[in-house]
Amino acid sequence: MQKIARLPDAVANRISAGEVVQRPSSVVKELVENAIDAGATRIVVAVKDAGKELVQVLDNGCGMGADDAHLCVERFATSKITSADDLERLDTLGFRGEALASIASVAHFELKTRRIDDEAGLLLRFEGGDLQEERPCPAEQGTSVSVRNLFYNVPARRKFLKTNATEFKHIYESVKAQVLAYPEIQWKMVSDDEQLFDFRSSDMHERLDFFYGEGFSESLVELREENDFLTLFGYVAKPGMLKRQKNDQLFYINRRVIQNRMLQQALQQAYGELLVERQVPFALLFLGLDTEKVDVNVHPAKLEVKFDDDRSVRNMFYPLLKRAVRLQDFSPDVGIGE
Ligand code: ADP
Ligand code: MG
């Protein structure tokens, strides 16, 4: 005879952790998204041993009161939506309320948080999702989350982590994508006690040159286009400079990093015959569209989106991009494909 039993939360959390937390970079991404949603203007990301030993994200955002600090590691507990209707118009990066529950269930998790009017900060420490310690602590306004020994209680997962070089690359790429999307935020990153960057100004050229090489931003054209359906802002390769380009394409919908083949293909087509061989033009593109026209609730990692109408997004995106690319002057000495 079969008998169905509801799984205890601890088990459920660990199962969903399998989808939300694939590797250290997933932890970084979720914590950074929370910091952004908390309205932070300064975010510090620190990792040790490519995140296997420690991922720490510190922000100066709104912080949490004691009740929220306890609730935040509960499954499906969120301050970002309250009804199913809210899913239609998301203006936050998070909304599923399961990231911290998942992360806390497979790591040693420490939270320090303080709201602006609180007299002191509050520290909570969990192991495998269970509260171990709670006490007041000195803290600035904001939140600091430290995740140690990821997958300590899931040996199979721990074993499948890749080399530090590979895991670190995933982390770095994920942080880079956010640093480029939020120029108004100051970002600092530290790895194994070495400072990698500390951006204090909102200058995009400084950030682009840092990540892609000195003078790189000069090989880009900044574009700003819009029609009734979407806005498009960003940077793409100047057609005449393609040869000197780094291959990298970052797409965002409403400032959320996404992966989308349709947009990649439309970009490739907008350049058309300007591309030689297998050139992939650099692009950092921010699409803005009505939140009701896009569904981000496709997968727990929130990297995929579904458009209400794929074709019309493509049909709107393509001409804007094409116009921006074609409007570029070609100086004769940097001929196409030379
Ligand atoms: P979600 O982001 O989908 O709501 P999370 O599990 O990532 O789910 O976070 C749960 C809740 O904890 C958030 O809704 C938010 O209220 C709170 N929270 C998490 N991180 C922070 C932070 N850095 N600052 C302030 N509040 C936070
Ligand atoms: Mg979140």
| Cα separation, 99 vs 78, whole angstroms | 10
- Ligand nearest, relative to CA of residue 33: 2
pLDDT of residue 332: 40
Q: Helices 24-37 and 164-181, interaxial angle, to 10°? A: 20
Does the beta carbon of 56 sit less than 6 angstroms from any atom of ligand 1? Answer: no
Q: Evaluate: CB of 62 within 6 angstroms of ligand 1.
A: yes
Q: How far is the CA of 93 from the centre of ligand 1 (A)?
A: 10
Distance (angstroms) between ligand 1 centre and the Cα of 254 equals 19
**pLDDT of res. 295:** 86
* Span from the CA of 63 to the centroid of ligand 1 (angstroms): 9
- Please give the sequence-ordered ranges of beta strands (E in DSSP) within the chain, or none if there are none: 42-48, 54-59, 108-114, 121-127, 130-137, 142-148, 186-191, 194-199, 220-226, 230-237, 249-253, 256-258, 283-289, 294-295, 306-307
Q: How much is the pLDDT for 307?
A: 85
Integer Cα distance of 55 and 174 in angstroms: 13
On the 0-12 / 13-18 / 19+ scale of CB atoms within 10 A, 309 is: exposed
**181 with 255: CB under 8 angstroms?**
yes
- 65 C-beta closer than 6 A to ligand 1: no
Using DSSP, state whether 32 is helix, strand or coil: helix
How far from the centroid of its chain's Cα atoms is residue 14's Cα? 22
Q: Which of 26, 56, 100 to mutate to test the pocket of ligand 1 (most atoms within 8 A of CB)?
A: 100
Beta strands 249-253; 121-127: pairing state: unpaired
Residue 108: phi and psi, rounded to 5, are: -95, 120
Q: Which two tokens stand for residue 331?
A: 């100086």
Radius of gyration of the chain (CA): 22
Answer whether 140's CB lies under 8 Å from 100's CB.
no
Please indicate whether residue 79, judged by its CB atom, sits closer than 6 Å to ligand 1.
yes
ipTM above 0.90, yes or no: yes
Which atom of ligand 1 is closest in space to residue 57's alpha carbon? 23
- Provide the CA 311 distance to its chain's centre, in angstroms: 26
- CA 277 – ligand 1 centroid, Å: 45
pTM of the model: 0.93
Main-chain phi, psi angles of 291, to 5 degrees: -60, -20
Q: What is the pLDDT of residue 301?
A: 74
Is-contact 32 57, C-beta < 8 A? yes
Closest ligand to Cα 36 = 1
pLDDT reported for residue 330: 52
User: What pLDDT shows up at residue 16?
Assistant: 80
Residue 143 Cβ contacting ligand 1 at under 6 Å: yes
Note the ligand closest to the C-alpha atom of 102.
1
Whether the CB of 300 sits within 6 Å of ligand 1:
no
Domains of the chain and any CATH numbers: 9-202 (3.30.565.10), 218-329 (3.30.230.10)
The pLDDT value recorded for residue 336 is 45
Each of the 338 residues of the chain gets a pLDDT tens digit; together they read: 789 999 988 888 888 887 889 999 999 999 999 999 999 999 999 999 999 999 999 999 999 999 999 999 998 899 999 998 998 888 899 999 999 999 999 999 999 999 999 999 999 999 999 999 999 999 999 999 999 999 999 998 999 999 999 999 999 999 999 999 999 999 999 999 999 999 999 999 999 999 999 999 998 989 998 888 889 999 998 887 777 667 789 999 999 999 888 999 999 888 888 888 778 899 999 999 988 888 887 787 777 888 888 888 888 888 888 888 877 755 444 444 43
Alpha carbon separation from 35 to 59, 211, 249 (Å, rounded): 6, 22, 24
- In this structure, which ligand is nearest to the CA of 103? 1
Q: Is 110 in the pocket of ligand 1 (CB under 6 A)?
A: no
Distance from Cα 92 to the centre of ligand 2, integer Å: 9
Report the pLDDT value the prediction gives residue 298, as an integer from 0 to 100.
79
CA 31 – ligand 2 centroid, Å: 7
